[in-house]
Amino acid sequence: MIDNSKNRDLGSAGWWLPQVDGTLECKLCAHGCRLRDHQRGLCGVRVRQGERVESLVYGRIVAEHVDPIEKKPVFHVLPGSLSYSIATHGCNFRCLHCQNASISQVPRDMAVDASGVYRKPEEIVDSAITRGCRSISYTYVEPTVFLEYAYDCCLAASDKGLKNIFVSNGYMTKEVVAELAPVLTAINIDLKSFSDEFYKKICGASVQPVLDTIVRCKEAGIWVEVTTLLIPGMNDEDPELLQIAAFLAAIDRSIPWHVSGYHPAYRMTGPPSTPQSTLQRARQRGLDQGLHHVYTGNRPDFGGEDTSCPNCGLLLISRHGFRVTLNRLSGGCCPACNQHLAGIW
């Protein structure tokens, strides 16, 4: 396998292998695209040029913002802090309800190599520090598709004491997880459904690689949080909610599960917005399966964003929207019973 970081000039991509049929197989994500000359992968931003694969988006930033870390959503890493959020074009999913389709869905003839603004990794880190951020988030699109750039930014950020966070669909290979583990602080993985049929119909993918990535990231020591966007009539019934919650609880009951409300978007405008009652029910199902922390998203008005001590029940962190209004943690522990709260504080 071509290494991600060594002996790589600007634009050349890692994570591919030559095949006996003359193709070059991309080993970055679970699609495993086999590329012939000048052919792009499903992500739209990796292309074969002669006998190598190139990234068309190294350093080509199309989104760059300062966000509350709670917006990722990541609740158990540096709560109340700011995260410098960046993205290039591209994604390896084709979600019909994508909120960021204007940058994730790349037309085959789009000149993405001339898109956005070129930013060196060190410039991203300097901007993050200048803006008072304690982490960099690779988000808005699937960061795996710009892995070489994200990895270089992670290295530069780590050198300056910043945390690194992926907001991901979880479709990366086990080799990528192993490479990221030393430099990636946390990952929020979208587990969009527990149904392979849903993944194939709505996202153009399969569910098993996502489940595998959740397990691998946890085993690699990366802090893991999981988000499920609940779409009425599609993935919001009790049997599926219980399956997801039981899967997460079997890995680690301290994994935060975010159940978020859907709004019609992109090519999926049929289902109505998720009612608050569905989020409350999903939260309860997660708690019933033994998860310590289940949060509701996109509906900030009924307390589903608060963190309580799993031992004594004391309210530890109160949130409203993306704002922390109370934090009682003392050295990462509950002040009442001294129970350590899982996370990075």
**pLDDT by residue (tens digit) across 28-43?**
999 999 999 999 999 9
Q: How far apart are CA 151 and CA 144, in angstroms?
A: 10
Identity of the residue numbered 162: L
Please report which confidence band the pLDDT of residue 109 belongs to, taking 50, 70 and 90 as the band edges: confident
Q: Is the CB of residue 46 less than 8 Å from the CB of residue 55? A: yes
Instruction: Assign 249 to helix, strand or coil.
Output: helix
Q: What is the mean pLDDT of residues 36-65?
A: 97
Please report which confidence band the pLDDT of residue 10 belongs to, taking 50, 70 and 90 as the band edges: low
Identity of the residue numbered 63: A
CA distances from 268 to 205, 231, 248, 272, 276 (A): 17, 10, 28, 10, 20
**Nearest-10 Cα torsion for 276, 277, 281, 284:** 70
Q: Is the CB of residue 163 less than 8 Å from the CB of residue 77? A: yes
Report the DSSP pairing between strands 223-230 and 186-190.
parallel
Domains of the chain, earliest start first: 16-55 (no CATH), 60-305 (3.20.20.70), 309-345 (no CATH)
* pLDDT score for 1: 44
Strand stretches in the chain, DSSP E? 16-18, 24-26, 34-35, 46-49, 52-55, 60-61, 63-68, 82-87, 117-118, 135-138, 163-168, 186-190, 223-230, 257-261, 294-297, 307-308, 315-320, 323-327
pLDDT digits (tens, 9 = 90+) for 201-252: 999 999 999 999 999 999 999 999 999 999 999 999 999 999 999 999 999 9
Residue matched to tokens 């004594």: 312
pLDDT digits (tens, 9 = 90+) for 246-301: 999 999 999 999 999 999 999 999 999 999 999 999 999 999 999 999 999 988 77
Is pLDDT of 11 > 80? no
Q: How far apart are CA 83 and CA 272, in angstroms?
A: 31
